[in-house]
Amino acid sequence: PAYLTIDAHATSDLQHEVGGFLVGRPYAWDGQLYVEIVDALPGEQTQSGAAHLTIMPETWAQAQQTARSKFPGLYLVGWYHTHPRMSVFMSAQDVAIHEGFFQEPWHVSLVIEPVSREAGFFVWEQGVIRAANSYQIDYPSTSPERERWQKPRSRRIDLDALPPTLDEFYEPGFYRTRWDEPDELA
């Protein structure tokens, strides 16, 4: 269900960025850290443009509440968002968001370019956010090959743009990625 949910949301607006949350579980196997994504929660209350996405505080709170009730024992393991007609990369703003709100070593980010159907995961590696070396997506058997996400082509990206403040993205101190502890307000 995660692929279908994310893909439907990603292709719902090819002019503006859209995004949401990834639900799943981290686990270790044979000394390696893995993240299993079982579903996604589209961010419903957002402000977006062709090159930015702001998820409203109400959306973070709703995602926590929905995840707690619908997916007991699972975590928000990361987030996803689109870069329509751009490419698959983590902008300076994306990095600031990930560093500010997805700090666990198992938190991931999925970036999708919905027009070319390219996508890539970004992970923490030795304290730095990097493109994942490998990942596996279990596509539904009904998904034609031409409609599946492809790995991004290599491109040079200029990341010199200054990121927005975290206040522009989210009211600091409210969001917690694990809901086995009570929510806290700053």
β-pairing verdict for 52-55 and 46-49? antiparallel
- Which residue is it, tokens 């009570």? 182
Query: pLDDT for 63-120, tens place per residue?
Result: 888 888 999 999 999 999 999 888 899 988 889 888 888 899 999 999 999 999 999 9
- On whether the CB atoms of residues 136 and 127 are closer than 8 A, the answer is no
Residue 36: predicted pLDDT: 95
In angstroms, the first-to-last Cα distance of the chain is 34
Query: pLDDT for 108-166, tens place per residue?
Result: 999 999 999 999 999 999 999 999 988 888 888 888 888 888 887 654 444 454 444 44
User: Is the pTM higher than 0.85?
Assistant: no
Query: pLDDT for 40-61, tens place per residue?
Result: 998 865 555 445 566 667 777 7
In whole angstroms, give the CA distance from residue 104 to residue 120.
19
